[in-house]
Amino acid sequence: MSDWLKVNLSAQTAAAQWGPNALLSFNEGSATVHATERRRIQQAGRRLRSQGLTQVELGEGFGQEQQWAFAEGFMSALGGEQIRWAGDSAELEARFKVARWVRDITNKGPEQQSPQMLASEAASFITALGGEKVSYKMISGEALKDAGWTGLYNVGRGSERPPVMLVLDYNPGTEDTPVAAALVGKGITFDSGGYSIKASEGMLYMKADMGGAAMVAGGLALSILRGLQKRVRLILCCAENLVSGNAYKLGDVLTYKNGTTVEIVNTDAEGRLVLADGLLVASESGAPLIIDAATLTGAAVTAVGSSYNALFALDREMAAKVNAIANAEDEPAWPLPLEPFHQFECPSAYADTANSRPVKGGGAGGASNAAGFLSRFVRDQGQGWVHLDLAACFNNNENGLWSAGATARGIRTIARSLLDLT
């Protein structure tokens, strides 16, 4: 008997012996999913994977999006899944390849993934897809300080493993081809909270605080596999936020390359500090489209739950376009408030702004205030810039739809934005 389980999809209800609301029924060597709604199909994939199955062949009744819904549920943090697709499989193979990479790199333990390792693995993955169209440089440790990248340097200097900025260029044109888009990702490979230290239960899952870096790298990778012919700059801001005698402290004042001064009132609000440097690099590129992605605030998760990513933009037209793409790609996002006044919602007596409010979780409107902080570091008053706070990119525990760990929800949105909006 084959080790592969044949799985079909049917809009009809299961036979009575399987129960009145059965999602799955079985014959010898095959299973049938009785569903039409996407979440139910994904749930079927999760159930079959939870039974220990690793090899499935999708057959009758499955369209492309139904197959992907099943695959999202079938993929596990343990890996090893194999899926034979029904019909034309090129797009599904591309999604699976990238999503598997994003999940695996996000799920890695912090000891297995230093800032240097994250930057190197992302560069290698994209170079393997883009070949000679890809070039990159890395700035590390004291060289970041010398170059003026104060946020990334200070957040990462408390670790023995130095912070790294990856600046990668995907250029299918000539040397003078303008940059069409820039992607910026938060790559905090472990976040203790620094001196504003997290409780143990909150720190346990902080290996995933580099989910934004994985997401933008994955989005670029998927767009390359989809045939991207535009020049894109990728900036990953990678660091460990640890406690040591060399760690940055509450009360420090940082001065950024654009002259903005920032008082540190919470060392656990480190993501926005490293992204600020990345957004300055993105703005220097002249790209008319800038997208950053980060596991930035618990406030975003509180606001939208784990089924949506939160979307922020001062550019309302661009926000609407990216939001429409997210919905079309079955990766729903939800716009949250961002106005110019949010730049001033974290006041400081000693600097232009603080990096948060000195209260638990940053206080009311924390996700919008974090986005307001970031808006200080993008050019043209935020025109063409979109910030994604990735509430849906990681699950602490398995549920009926997802395995524990990373979900890769966001790669399709970023990939299509690069293809459609540049």
Using an 8 Å Cβ cutoff, are 115 and 187 in contact?
yes
- For the cut 80, the answer to whether the pLDDT of residue 361 exceeds it is no
Residue whose entry in the numeric block shows the structure tokens 């926000």: 319
Measured from the Cβ of residue 58, the count of other Cβ atoms closer than 10 Å reads 25
Task: Give catalytic status of residue 231 as yes or no.
Answer: no
User: What pLDDT shows up at residue 359?
Assistant: 86
Q: pLDDT above 90 covers what percent of the chain?
A: 96
Q: Which CATH class is domain 109-421?
A: alpha beta
Residue-wise pLDDT for 310-349, tens only, equals 999 999 999 999 999 999 999 999 999 999 999 999 999 9
User: What pLDDT shows up at residue 363?
Assistant: 85
Average pLDDT over residues 223-232: 98
User: What pLDDT shows up at residue 360?
Assistant: 78
- For the cut 60, the answer to whether the pLDDT of residue 203 exceeds it is yes
Using an 8 Å Cβ cutoff, are 293 and 272 in contact?
no
Residue whose entry in the numeric block shows the structure tokens 């799920």: 107
CA distance 408 to 98: 8
Q: What is the pTM of this model?
A: 0.97
Average pLDDT over residues 226-253: 98
CA distance 339 to 372: 7
Which residue blocks in 184-315 are alpha helix, DSSP H?
200-203, 211-225, 271-284, 298-304
CA distance 140 to 145: 9
- For the cut 90, the answer to whether the pLDDT of residue 362 exceeds it is no
**Residues facing residue 241 across a β-bridge:** 191
Q: Is the dihedral of CA 303, 308, 314, 317 positive or negative?
A: negative
At residue 350, φ and ψ (nearest 5 deg) are -120, -5
DSSP one-letter string for 343-401: GGSS--SSSSEESS-SSGGGSTTHHHHHHHHHHTTSSGGGTTEEEEE-TTSEESS--SS
Residue-wise pLDDT for 128-179, tens only, equals 999 999 999 999 999 999 999 999 999 999 999 999 999 999 999 999 999 9
* Structural domain boundaries in the chain: 5-87, 109-421
CA distance 298 to 315: 24
User: What pLDDT shows up at residue 373?
Assistant: 98
Please state which of the ranges 27-36, 222-231, 354-363, 388-397 shows the lowest mean pLDDT: 354-363
User: Of the listed 97, 100, 198, 321, which one is catalytic?
Assistant: 198
Terminal C-alpha separation, the chain: 50
Burial label for 145, CB within 10 Å (0-12, 13-18, 19+), is middle
**Residues facing residue 99 across a β-bridge:** none
Using an 8 Å Cβ cutoff, are 68 and 89 in contact?
no
- For the cut 60, the answer to whether the pLDDT of residue 1 exceeds it is no
Task: Give catalytic status of residue 272 as yes or no.
Answer: yes
User: What pLDDT shows up at residue 306?
Assistant: 94
Residue-wise pLDDT for 72-114, tens only, equals 999 999 999 999 999 899 999 999 999 999 999 999 999 999 9
Q: Which amino acid is at 194?
A: G
User: Of the listed 46, 95, 272, 376, which one is catalytic?
Assistant: 272
Residue-wise pLDDT for 23-40, tens only, equals 999 998 899 999 999 999
Q: Which amino acid is at 22?
A: A
User: What pLDDT shows up at residue 354?
Assistant: 98
CA-only gyration radius of the chain, Å: 22
Using an 8 Å Cβ cutoff, are 196 and 267 in contact?
yes
The first and second tokens of residue 332, run together, are 């729903």
Average pLDDT over residues 249-278: 98
User: What pLDDT shows up at residue 22?
Assistant: 96
